[in-house]
Amino acid sequence: MKALLARSYGPLDQLEIGEAPQPVPGPGQLLVRLEAAAVNPVDVALVTGRLRAELPVRHPFIPGVDVSGVVEAVGEGVTGFAVGDAVIAWNGVPSGAFAEYTLVQANGSGAVRPGGLDARHGAALPTGALTASALLDEAGLTPGSTLLVVGATGGLGGYAVQLAKRAGATVLATGRAGDSDYLRHLGADEAIDYNTEDVTARVRARAPDGADVVIDVARAGPALAASAAAAKPGGLVVSPLGGPPSFDRDVTARYTGTTTPPGRLAELAGLAATGALRAEIGAEYPFAEARQALTGFAGRHIRGKVVITF
């Protein structure tokens, strides 16, 4: 089969489409023929080697964690999926979605793609929506809560804005100057230009004590202190990137990553199929240009997800 290959750790320019053995599904696994896949920051990190200590990969390495396609074969013991089913899945590491075929763990990380959700928008869902959902679990929003989302135009933040609105929160969202309409279209009550505006002052103009929760998907480590400054005393900062265990004010830090609770991806896919959750596609590339999809993702301002079609 054809696959996007990294022969070693190194820059994205090294990626090339080459031949790789078609995988064979083991117990509990699905063999999926790709129709679409989506690009995530982790793909870039796994190719370049930025995460080699925590998440080493074997070479030649096929990146790609967001899968959308059709079940070609099922492994022993698989239930709930049949050959010919349209599915979406989150592959995590070992990845492998940027190829004609990939293996998916049926339990937990895969879901049947409902009618009403096409393959491209299905691909745009797994990492972004699952991780946003995990962040929202930590945020514990209630109707009337005020939430600031930092990094709201990206593949993860856009879902956080939408899911928070569904939870009844007032949502303030950061983006660039030209992103205001996009952020409002996602449901944000206010759009804040993080380049030119004082984000904390804008939050305090709306919620004088600060936001109940700040979900920050853009900054890591000590830089998260800026998010703590926008949260109210007793409030929360929630991040998928990690940072200090505590802040120098009465604000709690909570860190989480992509999780696949049973039924969660199917639930999110159901919302997307009815239009209650929008999977935004900011750029699209044919598989023949998969390398450009990754370099474009890493180098450009994208609203929503970058999708590769097969």
Ligand X SMILES: NC(=O)c1ccc[n+]([C@@H]2O[C@H](COP(=O)([O-])OP(=O)(O)OC[C@H]3O[C@@H](n4cnc5c(N)ncnc54)[C@H](OP(=O)(O)O)[C@@H]3O)[C@@H](O)[C@H]2O)c1
Summarize as ranges the residues that interact with ligand X (CB under 6 A). Answer: 40-42, 127-128, 131, 150-151, 153-157, 174, 176, 194, 217-219, 240-241, 257-258, 301
DSSP state of 97: -
Residue 241 CB, nearest approach to ligand X (Å): 5
Structure tokens at 6: 């990294």
Residue 257 CB, nearest approach to ligand X (Å): 3
Q: Alpha-carbon distance 310 to 290, whole Å?
A: 10
Q: Alpha-carbon distance 57 to 44, whole Å?
A: 12
Distances (CA, A) of 99 to 108, 113, 185, 290: 22, 19, 33, 10
Report CA 78 to chain centroid distance, whole Å. Answer: 26
Q: Of 23 and 155, which has the nearer Cβ to ligand X?
A: 155
How much helix, strand and coil, in percent to the nearest 5, is found in the chain? Answer: 30, 30, 40
Q: Of 206 and 219, which has the nearer Cβ to ligand X?
A: 219
Residue 158 CB, nearest approach to ligand X (Å): 8
Q: Of 74 and 293, which has the nearer Cβ to ligand X?
A: 293
Q: Of 74 and 149, which has the nearer Cβ to ligand X?
A: 149
Closest residue to ligand X: CB criterion? 154
Q: Of 42 and 230, which has the nearer Cβ to ligand X?
A: 42
Residue 16 CB, nearest approach to ligand X (Å): 23
Q: Of 161 and 271, which has the nearer Cβ to ligand X?
A: 161
Q: Determine how many CB atoms are found less than 10 A away from the CB of residue 301.
A: 11
Q: Of 25 and 43, which has the nearer Cβ to ligand X?
A: 43
Strand duo 190-193 + 170-175: pairing: parallel
Q: Alpha-carbon distance 290 to 2, whole Å?
A: 11
In 72-167, which residue ranges form alpha helices assigned H by DSSP?
119-123, 126-139, 157-166
Q: Alpha-carbon distance 103 to 89, whole Å?
A: 10
Q: Alpha-carbon distance 177 to 189, whole Å?
A: 16
Residue 78 CB, nearest approach to ligand X (Å): 25
Q: Determine how many CB atoms are found less than 10 A away from the CB of residue 263.
A: 11
Residue 284 CB, nearest approach to ligand X (Å): 15
Residue 194 CB, nearest approach to ligand X (Å): 4
